[in-house]
């Protein structure tokens, strides 16, 4: 087997190995930008107190947001312009 073919196969293996990571951790950059999302609270407004937040496994884990489809990296301490108090 020549060198370039071996390298190509190696690269393929790396690409396949990265798929699960991409499937489980994702950011919805379009919605984050549109809603001016940031990883810090806006005064006392933070994702953990927002009706759109989808909590992670524990109260401090990253979670999701109903307004950011596919996003799995929303921090409970984040905030954005769509914040709405949890009922
Ligand atoms: S709408 Fe904004 S503040 Fe509310 S959970 Fe989603 S990202 Fe956080």
pLDDT tens string for the chain (87 positions)?
Answer: 667 665 655 655 555 555 454 557 899 999 999 999 999 999 999 999 999 999 999 999 999 999 999 999 999 999 999 999 999
Question: Counting Cβ atoms within 10 Å, is residue 75 exposed (0-12), middle (13-18) or buried (19+)?
Answer: buried
User: Longest C-alpha distance within the chain, in Å?
Assistant: 64
- CB-based contacts of 33, cutoff 8 Å, min separation 6: none
Please give the pLDDT value at position 25: 84
Is the pTM of the predicted complex or chain greater than 0.85? no
Confirm or reject: Cβ of 74 under 6 Å from ligand 1: yes
Looking from the CA of residue 68, the nearest atom of ligand 1 is: 6
Please give the pLDDT value at position 18: 52
Please give the pLDDT value at position 57: 95
Rounded distance from Cα 22 to ligand 1 centre (Å): 22
Distance CA 50, CA 67 (A): 11
Question: Counting Cβ atoms within 10 Å, is residue 73 exposed (0-12), middle (13-18) or buried (19+)?
Answer: middle
Distance CA 27, CA 84 (A): 21
Confirm or reject: Cβ of 80 under 6 Å from ligand 1: yes
Please give the pLDDT value at position 26: 95
């Amino acid at each position: 087997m020549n060198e370039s073919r071996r390298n190509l196969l190696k690269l393929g293996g790396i690409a396949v190995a990265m798929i699960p990571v991409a499937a489980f951790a994702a950011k919805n950059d379009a919605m984050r930008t549109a809603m001016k999302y940031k990883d810090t609270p806006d005064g006392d407004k933070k994702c953990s107190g927002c009706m759109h937040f989808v909590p992670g496994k524990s109260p401090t884990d990253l979670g999701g947001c109903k307004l950011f489809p596919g996003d799995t990296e929303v921090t409970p301490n984040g905030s954005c312009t769509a914040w709405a108090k949890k009922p």
